[in-house]
């Protein structure tokens, strides 16, 4: 007979967590009570009783004292129960399944947003009672499509499910609810472990003659699992433990499949496997005895094995023993899935649920582990949903795996080992690596190279760097100059780009002198500003832009028009190959003020200017920086002017008319008198126009 054990049989992660919390409470001492049975399995509850965890139905049944406390079971409780426990001064340990707690958050949020709430589940189940409590006891509980069809039409409807229900039935109920609301929000809150448990049960049922479902009759998920197995058409037995196995259940059975509900402990599964083996051996012995009692079939028939003559019945007996050994070996192999890996082991798993703050992973056998958000990535992330999806296969490290099966996993530590292995290879090979500067610390920079590395300030460039902040966010190349994966204080990885920068500068410098010529225009970056000019990085070499070559006008200080880091076009004014000097000009690339003035101003224009200088023969007026015009004394007024200062003063803004432009001599003739004449003429004309209008009226 062949025995198949479902991979996902037995304790789920939520039950393992609850049992662990209870056992830890027992170890702490004091008097601890569970509000209702911790899980729906009498064997587990009795085991916890023996350790001092007493189930009670009401808080009033607890003897209040300094050392008294209550454990909230995996099904959860309404919020008012927790508040009452606090008021009574009881210690509280919340063993509510994280997935159930998520349902509480959903219904509370939906209720706050004005949704009517429907819960698919068993109305008397403690998990459903708790869910109702988190909806202010306003949720409607339904157990079938017929009940769903009887609901009233509402504007806004939110739908959730008891975590242990059947998924297909849930979606059938959702279909029935769709016409009953203008807006509906559906949350599939069925536990992924429940779905997977049902799926693996269906898989092992193929070709089986019998399915045994282990679990307490009070367990909702066990009942759902048994119903799912019966739907396969294979004969199904729902048993509490090995003592309930019928003596004749294996007659005519060649293959038996075994699965178990989420609250069924490992020891019950193991006892059932052992009992199945005993039944099989007993049946085999009976068959062998029947064979021995049939002498006419076997008499006189002998075969030789080695040097001995052996009868056919002896050969049959040997073969049967080998088959039993093989069958038992297969069961032991399947039970080996229950073996506990050591701390630090790296194993593969499949993501079965992703929440913002944690990821649930199936790591084989019946085991499911939890990766907290902090253990998901070497980088800071806001949600685990940004990294993995359901169905992804990932490698994880076991941080902690207790005897009760609770697993704490880390993806970050596996990633860290992989990164360290690669960086170690790069260090040994002297390879160039790439990284992004993430921040500054005392004495240098932090660099992301897959993990955080340190770049000393003296190794950022091949010279002194004044402002390290300018490198934050930049992706650069580095060499590893120190690597110590076992280092506990300080950085395991120390980087340098000093040598790389020097090499790159030498390459660019050689390339620069091979291609530079006088008269070229180059794009450069302002590296340093000094009183007499600015040094411009031309991509391999620095040239000097003297202050006199910055503008056509006089520049008081280079910082008046340039900033460090600015990119500007410059003209190669002169080269000295021997002294390796480059003289630059910006002025050459700019239009002169007179060129601009020639385009901007025309004879006859009336413009505004500023008196900048007075001479005996007139006044010089600035039209634009670097462009002056002359108002001759004869053009200052429509009367005789003895001295120009009698009419204008320095820094005075005046209106003038352009009466001549000489581009070659760079001279502009201006007139104040003609502006006044035109204004007087306009006033006279305006007066006449007004008189004419009055006469017409």
467-473 average pLDDT score: 91
3-state secondary structure 259-275: EECCCCCHHHHHHHHHH
Q: Residue 580's pLDDT band (boundaries 50, 70, 90)?
A: confident
Give yes or no for a contact between 420 and 456, defined as CB atoms under 8 angstroms apart: no
Instruction: Supply the pLDDT for residue 283.
Output: 60
Q: Residue 268's pLDDT band (boundaries 50, 70, 90)?
A: confident
Assess whether pLDDT exceeds 70 at residue 509.
Answer: yes
Assess whether pLDDT exceeds 50 at residue 596.
Answer: yes
Q: Which of residues 323 and 523 earns the better pLDDT score? A: 523
Assess whether pLDDT exceeds 60 at residue 237.
Answer: yes
Told to judge if 127 belongs to the known catalytic residues of this protein, a careful annotator would answer yes
**How far is residue 221 CA from its own chain's centroid?**
33
Q: E strands along 329-392, which residues?
A: 346-354, 358-362, 368-372
Residue ranges of domains in the chain, CATH in brackets: 13-98 (3.40.50.11270), 99-190 (3.40.1010.20), 347-410 (2.40.50.140), 416-502 (2.40.50.140), 516-589 (2.40.50.140), 594-681 (2.40.50.140)
Catalytic residue among 127, 228, 542, 549: 127
107-124 average pLDDT score: 92
676-686 average pLDDT score: 81
Decide: helix, strand or coil at residue 472.
Answer: coil
Instruction: Supply the pLDDT for residue 446.
Output: 93
Instruction: Supply the pLDDT for residue 328.
Output: 46
DSSP 439-470: EEETTEEEEESSSEEEEEGGGSSSS--S-GGG
Give yes or no for a contact between 659 and 648, defined as CB atoms under 8 angstroms apart: no
Contacts of 385 (CB under 8 A, 6+ apart): 354, 355, 356
**How far is residue 403 CA from its own chain's centroid?**
31
Of 50, 72, 170, give the one whose Cα is nearest residue 121. Answer: 170
Q: Which of residues 527 and 363 earns the better pLDDT score? A: 527
Q: Which two tokens stand for residue 66?
A: 């300094």
What mean pLDDT value characterizes the chain?
83
How many angstroms separate the CA atoms of 48 and 118, rounded? Answer: 35
Assess whether pLDDT exceeds 80 at residue 250.
Answer: no
Q: Element (H or E) spanning 576, and its range? A: strand 567-576
Assess whether pLDDT exceeds 50 at residue 195.
Answer: yes
Of 241, 39, 239, 242, give the one whose Cα is nearest residue 126. Answer: 39
| pTM exceeds 0.75 | no
Instruction: Supply the pLDDT for residue 17.
Output: 82
Please report, rounded to a whole number, the percentage of residues in the chain having pLDDT higher than 70.
Answer: 88
Please report, rounded to a whole number, the percentage of residues in the chain having pLDDT higher than 90.
Answer: 33
Q: Which two tokens stand for residue 264?
A: 């069924």
Contacts of 674 (CB under 8 A, 6+ apart): 635, 657, 659
Q: Residue 464's pLDDT band (boundaries 50, 70, 90)?
A: confident
What are the tens digits of pLDDT across the range 290-302? 544 544 434 444 4
The residue written with tokens 């500054």 in the block is 440
Of 11, 3, 41, 4, give the one whose Cα is nearest residue 201. Answer: 4
Assess whether pLDDT exceeds 70 at residue 1.
Answer: no
Instruction: Supply the pLDDT for residue 247.
Output: 72
């Amino acid at each position: 007979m062949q025995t198949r054990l479902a991979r996902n049989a037995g304790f789920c992660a939520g039950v393992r967590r609850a049992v662990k919390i209870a056992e830890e409470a027992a170890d702490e001492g004091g008097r601890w009570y569970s509000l209702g049975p911790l899980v729906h399995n009498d064997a587990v509850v009795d085991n916890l009783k023996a350790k001092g965890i007493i189930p009670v139905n009401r808080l009033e049944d607890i003897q209040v004292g300094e050392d008294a406390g209550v454990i909230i079971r995996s099904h959860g409780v309404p919020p008012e129960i927790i508040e009452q426990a606090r008021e009574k001064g009881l210690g509280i340990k919340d063993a509510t399944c994280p997935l159930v707690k998520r349902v509480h958050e959903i219904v509370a949020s939906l209720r706050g947003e004005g949704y009517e709430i429907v819960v698919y589940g068993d109305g008397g189940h403690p998990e459903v009672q708790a869910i109702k409590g988190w909806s202010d006891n306003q949720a409607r509980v339904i157990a079938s499509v017929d009940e769903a069809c009887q609901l009233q039409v509402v504007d806004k409807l939110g739908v959730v499910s008891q975590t242990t229900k059947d998924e297909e039935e849930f979606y059938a109920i959702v279909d029935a609810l769709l016409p009953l609301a203008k807006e509906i929000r559906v949350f599939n809150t069925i536990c992924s472990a429940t779905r997977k448990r049902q799926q693996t049960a269906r898989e092992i049922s193929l070709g089986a003659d019998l399915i045994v479902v282990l679990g307490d009759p009070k367990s909702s998920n066990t009942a759902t699992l048994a119903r799912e197995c019966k739907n396969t058409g294979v004969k199904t037995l729902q048993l509490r433990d090995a003592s309930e196995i019928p003596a004749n259940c294996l007659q005519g059975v060649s293959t038996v499949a075994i699965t178990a509900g989420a609250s069924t402990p490992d020891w019950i599964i193991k006892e059932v496997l052992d009992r199945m083996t005993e039944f099989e051996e007993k049946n085999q012995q009976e068959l062998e005895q029947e064979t021995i009692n049939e002498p006419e079939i076997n008499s006189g028939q002998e075969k030789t094995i080695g040097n001995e003559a052996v009868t056919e019945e002896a050969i049959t007996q040997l073969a049967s023993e080998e088959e039993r050994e093989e069958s038992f070996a297969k069961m032991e192999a399947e039970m080996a899935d229950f073996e506990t890996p050591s701390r630090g082991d790296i194993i593969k798993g499949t993501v079965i649920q992703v929440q913002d703050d944690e990821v649930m992973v199936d790591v084989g056998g019946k085991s499911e582990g939890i990766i907290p958000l902090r253990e998901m990535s070497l980088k800071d992330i806001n949600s685990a949903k940004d990294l993995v999806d359901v169905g992804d296969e990932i490698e994880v490290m076991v941080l902690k795996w207790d005897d009760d099966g609770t697993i704490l996993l880390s993806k970050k530590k596996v990633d860290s080992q992989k990164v360290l292995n690669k960086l170690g290879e790069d260090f040994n090979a002297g390879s160039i690596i790439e990284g992004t500067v993430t921040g500054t610390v005392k004495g240098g920079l932090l660099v992301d190279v897959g993990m955080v590395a340190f770049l000393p300030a003296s190794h950022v460039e091949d010279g002194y760097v004044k402002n390290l902040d300018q490198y934050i966010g930049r992706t650069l190349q580095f060499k590893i100059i120190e690597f110590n994966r076992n280092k506990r204080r300080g950085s395991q990885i120390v980087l340098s780009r000093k040598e790389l920068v020097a090499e790159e500068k030498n390459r660019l410098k050689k390339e620069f002198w091979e291609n530079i010529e006088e008269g070229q225009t180059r794009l450069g970056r302002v590296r340093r500003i000094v009183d007499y000019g600015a040094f411009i990085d031309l991509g391999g070499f620095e040239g000097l832009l003297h202050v006199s070559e910055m503008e056509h006008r006089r520049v008081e200080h280079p910082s008046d028009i340039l900033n460090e880091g600015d990119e500007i076009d410059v003209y190669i004014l002169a080269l000295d190959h021997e002294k390796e000097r480059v003289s630059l000009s910006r002025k050459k690339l700019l239009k002169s003020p007179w060129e601009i003035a020639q385009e901007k101003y025309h004879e006859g224009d009336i413009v505004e200017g500023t008196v900048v200088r007075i001479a005996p023969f007139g006044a010089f007026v600035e039209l634009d920086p670097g462009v002056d015009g002359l108002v001759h004394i004869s053009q200052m007024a429509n009367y005789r002017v003895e001295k120009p200062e009698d009419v204008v003063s320095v820094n005075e803004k005046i209106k003038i008319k352009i009466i001549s432009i000489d581009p070659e001599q760079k001279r502009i003739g201006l007139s104040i008198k003609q502006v006044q004449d035109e204004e007087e003429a306009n006033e006279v004309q305006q007066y006449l126009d007004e008189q004419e209008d009055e006469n017409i009226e």
